[in-house]
């Protein structure tokens, strides 16, 4: 029986900007992330993916060093490494990803990559739709629909691919301009398509943006209810998104749209907070409330676009102190919410059933799953 060949590429710095509030690691943001004490995310995600693969009849061809081989050799599939692409480097760039993918496309049956939307763009530039690919999520912003919902799901999809049990479908590669994103502007662009194996709903969807008069009215009503019920001397940590930031608008506060802001007694305490800011507030005040909205179309509540709520932060926050808000249209399109924080014990803490505020004093009960 012919053994299927799997290419493996890791973006070693993907996701480092999330917990420190930089909304990405492109360009100079990587060095700012290091200054703020950010730690690599991709190595852990890469190993979780590799160690979750139960199949045995395949070979691995990986990019050199920290772009792939390093994690394969630490995994349970080290004996399946049959080839290395490129040269090992201390510092890597997107060009290394592009070059590795271009070489691998003629050697393997599928390329699995660990990274975010920027990495997906690099893979798309290199191979277009010449062979299937599968994304293991590790970035800050993952709006593209080429990623599995988490590393374990990616391993399962790969197993199904190896067994010939999947459909191969064109999926969108989306990305944003990170500099605009840091200025609180959300500009999403379609960069192309990749062929992706689809199995059992384990791929995330593209981000959906909800607009319209009824949507805005619902957001106003949600914000009004939260403001009227705010507890004195309790910090409110407001997550990204227009549904949440309508609270700031009604309070007349100059908050961010895409970051985290902390409000105390209806005054702005911290603007564009990152992990350390949130930890400091939690340690000082003890109890906090966190207001979040899921990503439209994808349903992610934790682990996508809000990594400032790191596992360290979430360990100190009660599930009962999460206030989840969304318009009824958004919840109708995302009947199950997802968490993927990178820490299974934290994921388990927040799964189950939650109330979602969809209008003034009107709630819908929704299931939260780790995928």
CA gap 9, 5 in Å, rounded: 13
230 with 194, same domain?
Answer: no
Task: Please state the φ and ψ torsions of residue 113, each to the nearest 5 degrees.
Answer: -125, 150
14 with 77, same domain?
Answer: yes
Check if the beta carbon of residue 152 is closer than 8 Å to that of residue 138: no
- List all residues 6 or more positions away from 38 whose beta carbon is below 8 Å from its beta carbon: 16, 17, 19, 20, 22
Tokens of 88: 């090992």
Tokens of 366: 């929704």
151 with 268, same domain?
Answer: no
333 with 239, same domain?
Answer: yes
Q: Tell the burial category of 269 from Cβ atoms under 10 Å away from its Cβ (0-12, 13-18, 19+).
A: middle
Checking DSSP bridges between strand 362-369 and strand 352-359, what pairing results, if any?
antiparallel
10 with 158, same domain?
Answer: yes
User: Residue 141 is part of which domain span?
Assistant: 4-198
Write out the DSSP string of 185-250.
---EEEEEEEEEEE-TT-BPPPP----SHHHHHHHHHHHHHHHHTPPTT--EEE-SSHHHHHHHHH
Number of structural domains (the chain) is 2
- Tens of pLDDT, residue by residue, the chain (371 residues): 578 999 999 999 876 555 545 555 555 555 555 556 657 788 999 999 999 999 988 999 999 999 999 999 999 999 999 999 999 998 888 999 999 999 999 999 999 999 988 899 999 999 999 999 999 998 776 778 899 989 999 999 999 999 999 999 999 998 766 555 555 566 677 889 999 999 877 887 765 554 555 788 889 999 999 999 999 999 999 999 888 999 999 999 999 888 899 999 999 999 999 999 999 999 999 999 999 999 877 888 998 888 899 999 999 999 999 999 998 888 887 778 999 998 999 999 999 999 999 999 999 999 999 86
Q: Is residue 206, in this structure, part of any structural domain at all?
A: no
List the CATH number of the domain containing 11.
3.40.50.10330
Spatial CA neighbour of 96 closest among 70, 62, 133, 63: 63
Write out the DSSP string of 74-86.
TSTTGGGEEEEES
Rounded to the nearest 10°, the torsion over CA 29, 113, 42, 142 is: 60
Q: Is residue 208, in this structure, part of any structural domain at all?
A: no
273 with 300, same domain?
Answer: yes
């Amino acid at each position: 029986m012919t053994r299927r060949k799997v290419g493996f590429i890791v973006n070693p710095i993907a996701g480092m900007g999330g917990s420190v509030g930089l909304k990405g690691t492109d360009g100079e943001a990587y060095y700012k992330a290091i200054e703020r004490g950010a730690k690599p995310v991709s190595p852990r995600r890469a190993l979780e993916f590799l160690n979750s693969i139960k199949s045995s009849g395949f070979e691995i061809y990986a990019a050199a060093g920290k772009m792939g081989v390093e994690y394969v050799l630490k995994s349970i599939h080290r004996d399946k490494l049959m080839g290395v692409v490129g040269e090992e480097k201390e510092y890597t760039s997107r060009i290394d990803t592009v070059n590795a993918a271009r070489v691998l496309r003629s050697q393997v049956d599928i390329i699995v990559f660990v990274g975010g939307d920027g990495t997906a763009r690099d893979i798309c530039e290199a191979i277009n739709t010449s062979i299937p690919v599968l994304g293991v999520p590790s970035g800050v912003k993952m709006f593209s629909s080429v990623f599995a919902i988490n590393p374990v799901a990616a391993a399962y999809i790969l197993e199904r691919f190896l067994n010939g049990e999947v459909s191969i479908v064109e999926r969108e590669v989306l990305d944003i301009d990170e500099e605009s994103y840091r200025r609180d502007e959300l500009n999403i662009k379609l960069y192309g398509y990749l062929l992706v194996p689809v199995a059992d709903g384990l791929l995330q969807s593209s981000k959906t943006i909800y607009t319209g008069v009824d949507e805005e009215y619902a957001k106003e009503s949600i914000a009004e209810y939260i403001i009227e019920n705010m507890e004195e001397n309790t910090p409110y940590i407001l997550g990204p998104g227009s549904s949440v930031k309508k609270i700031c608008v009604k309070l007349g506060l100059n908050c961010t749209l895409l970051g985290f802001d902390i409000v105390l007694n209806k005054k702005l305490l911290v603007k564009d907070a990152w992990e350390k800011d949130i930890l400091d507030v939690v340690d000082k005040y003890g109890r906090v409330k966190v207001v979040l909205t899921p990503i439209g179309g994808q349903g992610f509540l934790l682990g996508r676009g809000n990594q400032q709520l790191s596992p360290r932060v979430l360990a100190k926050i009660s599930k009962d102190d999460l206030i989840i808000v969304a318009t009824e249209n958004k919840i109708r399109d995302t009947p199950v919410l997802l968490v993927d924080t990178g820490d299974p014990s934290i994921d388990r803490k927040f799964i189950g059933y939650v109330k979602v505020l969809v209008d003034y004093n009107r709630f819908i009960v929704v299931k939260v799953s780790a995928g």
